[in-house]
Amino acid sequence: MMQFPKDLRRRVETFAAGPDGGRPPLPIDPRFWRSPLRSRRFTSILGLTLLVMLTLVIVCGLLSYASYNPRLAGNDPTGRHGLLGFYFFTWPTHPVWLYRLTQSTHVLLGLASIPFVLAKLWSVIPKLFELPPVRSPAQAIERISLLALVGGVTFEFVTGVMNIQLYYAFPFSFYTAHLYGAWIFLAGFVVHVAVKLPVAIRAVRRRGLDPDPEGDQAAAVHDPDGPDDLRAVEPAPATITRRGALIAVGGGSALLVGATLGQSFDGPLRRTALLAPHGQAYGNGPNDFPVNKTAAYRGITADATGAKWRLELRGTQRLSLDRAALLARPQSTHRLPIACVEGWSTEQEWTGIPLADLASMAGVTGKATVLVESLQKNGSFGKVRLAANQVADRRTLLALKVNGADLEPDHGFPARIIVPAGPGVHNTKWVTALTFVPEQA
């Protein structure tokens, strides 16, 4: 401990003196970069780890977009998906935990990869200053792809983290920006993997995933693979092993996951979600589970949800029902999750009327989609169109109760939608009208 300030001073002096002793070093001079940790093997291990993590993050992210029923009129939060919708499919209603799993994975693995992304950027930063900047047309393309890769990953992580922290300080829509950003990132990612995967595999093939194999340090100063090497030409003395550095990165990643994971579970575990805004937010008693947007926030008044509230049913017939009339109908009860795009989720026991029964009451018996409208007049998620498979699944409810008690205002009183396996945004609260639209065969 006592040695540390002395050692630090020596290192600051050595640094300031520069490799030529006196001339301050510049980043374009390879001798500027002195960390003995940098090596192709070190970067390759980080890269291969990120390849696995980010592939899953990307797949689950694209699934999230597809789960919104973006092909049904009015649902696509970006307005128009165009060619980017090539992979859309009908999001299933089984298993009920499907979106809960894919979206927790998207958010948790996204957070987990932050320390790896930062470490990997650090490990290759000398290459940013390499001169000449371009040596061949192939390398020019690769460097342009890095712009999409690094710009894309930075943009996606910044917008993603801001969104899960409910910090909507963007001058643009999160959904639109995060989706388009994803495709720019993905383009860079694909090119980068195509170019670098063979290099990374070669780097780890010889001596496996051990970041500090014996004899490695001495052997590779003159690496036959030349321009891909990342070793310092004048390495400073090591203060940590590569293995130690990887453990630190992995530890940081585990810490982020550990402090967020609880948001995907009910019970005491939720309180461990220190980094998640919905780790602590609760209602009362049977309504004791997270709320995303409160009734007050959405401008829902007690007057509008009180005695004058009606559910308008529209199909081949029109009906107007009050809450008592709905409660008098046969009720179904199911345990179903709410899983928000922000990554938090909860499972509760909902009681209400299957949408399929409400469709029949409105005179619609075949395959039909439904337009759900709420009392909410402004802001997002006041309306949604559900697909025919969601209407047909008898577990899709217009819920009137949760855990045996009336819904609280913040949970959507007098009535809300609960859809199995779907994203949170499909579970419209404060429902006031259901319009069933038969599907053309």
Token pair, residue 195, equals 């170019």
Write each residue from 399 to 428 as x if it is in contact with ligand MTE (CB under 6 A), else as -, in one continuous string. Answer: ------------xx-----------xx-xx
Backbone φ/ψ region at 384: left (φ over 0), alpha (ψ -120 to 50), beta? beta
Instruction: Enumerate residues 6+ apart whose C-beta is below 8 A from 405.
Output: 285, 286, 287
Dist. CA 86–CA 63, nearest whole Å: 12
Crossing angle for the helix pair 137-164 and 174-205, nearest 10 degrees? 130
Partner that binds at residue 411, options Mo ion, ligand MTE, none, CB closer than 5 to 8 Å by kind: ligand MTE
Which one, 196 or 323, has the nearer CB to ligand MTE?
Answer: 323
Which one, 100 or 231, has the nearer CB to ligand MTE?
Answer: 100
Burial profile 287-321: b = 16 or more Cβ within 10 angstroms, e = fewer? bebbbbeebeebebeeeebeeebbbebbbeeebeb
Placement of tokens 């949970």 in the chain? 411
Does 340 help bind Mo ion (rule: CB under 5 A)?
yes
Does 384 help bind Mo ion (rule: CB under 5 A)?
no
Token pair, residue 263, equals 């948001």
Which one, 326 or 340, has the nearer CB to Mo ion?
Answer: 340
Partner that binds at residue 430, options Mo ion, ligand MTE, none, CB closer than 5 to 8 Å by kind: ligand MTE
Dist. CA 283–CA 114, nearest whole Å: 32
Partner that binds at residue 397, options Mo ion, ligand MTE, none, CB closer than 5 to 8 Å by kind: none
Which one, 338 or 371, has the nearer CB to Mo ion?
Answer: 338
Which one, 54 or 291, has the nearer CB to ligand MTE?
Answer: 291
Partner that binds at residue 385, options Mo ion, ligand MTE, none, CB closer than 5 to 8 Å by kind: none
Token pair, residue 39, equals 């090596």
Q: Would you tell me how many other CB atoms lie within 10 Å of the CB of residue 102?
A: 21
Q: How many residues does the chain have?
A: 441
> Least CB distance from residue 275 to Mo ion, whole Å?
18
Which segments of 220-361 does DSSP mark as H helices, in order? 242-258, 302-305, 323-327, 355-361
Dist. CA 47–CA 51, nearest whole Å: 6
> Least CB distance from residue 295 to ligand MTE, whole Å?
9
Phi/psi for 265 (5° steps) reads: -130, 150
Does 340 help bind ligand MTE (rule: CB under 6 A)?
yes
> Least CB distance from residue 164 to ligand MTE, whole Å?
12
Token pair, residue 189, equals 């990612």
Strands 431-438 and 311-314: parallel
Phi/psi for 436 (5° steps) reads: -90, 130
Number of residues in contact with ligand MTE under rule CB under 6 A: 19
Does 338 help bind ligand MTE (rule: CB under 6 A)?
yes
Instruction: Enumerate residues 6+ apart whose C-beta is below 8 A from 192.
Output: 142, 145, 146, 149
Does 374 help bind ligand MTE (rule: CB under 6 A)?
yes
Write each residue from 270 to 309 as x if it is in contact with ligand MTE (CB under 6 A), else as -, in one continuous string. Answer: --------------------xxxx----x-----------
> Least CB distance from residue 339 to Mo ion, whole Å?
8
Strand partners, 436: 370
Contact 232, 35 (CB under 8 A): yes
Q: What 3-state class would DSSP assign to 187? A: helix
CA of residue 164 relative to chain centroid, distance: 8
Token pair, residue 344, equals 């938090």
Does 119 help bind Mo ion (rule: CB under 5 A)?
no
> Least CB distance from residue 27 to ligand MTE, whole Å?
45
Q: Would you tell me how many other CB atoms lie within 10 Å of the CB of residue 380?
A: 13
Backbone φ/ψ region at 233: left (φ over 0), alpha (ψ -120 to 50), beta? alpha
Partner that binds at residue 293, options ligand MTE, Mo ion, none, CB closer than 5 to 8 Å by kind: ligand MTE
Partner that binds at residue 376, options ligand MTE, Mo ion, none, CB closer than 5 to 8 Å by kind: ligand MTE
Which one, 61 or 382, has the nearer CB to ligand MTE?
Answer: 382
Q: Which of 115, 262, 382, 414 binds ligand MTE (CB under 6 A)?
A: 382
Q: Which of 36, 381, 394, 433 binds ligand MTE (CB under 6 A)?
A: 381
> Least CB distance from residue 152 to Mo ion, whole Å?
24
Cα-Cα-Cα-Cα torsion 101, 337, 358, 376, nearest 10 degrees, comes to: -100
Stretch that binds Mo ion, among 100-108, 231-239, 244-252, 341-349 (CB under 5 A): 341-349
Write each residue from 390 to 429 as x if it is in contact with Mo ion (CB under 5 A), else as -, in one continuous string. Answer: ----------------------------------x-----
Number of residues in contact with Mo ion under rule CB under 5 A: 3
**Site residues, Mo ion (CB under 5 A):** 340-341, 424
**Site residues, ligand MTE (CB under 6 A):** 290-293, 298, 338, 340, 374, 376, 381-382, 411-412, 424-425, 427-430
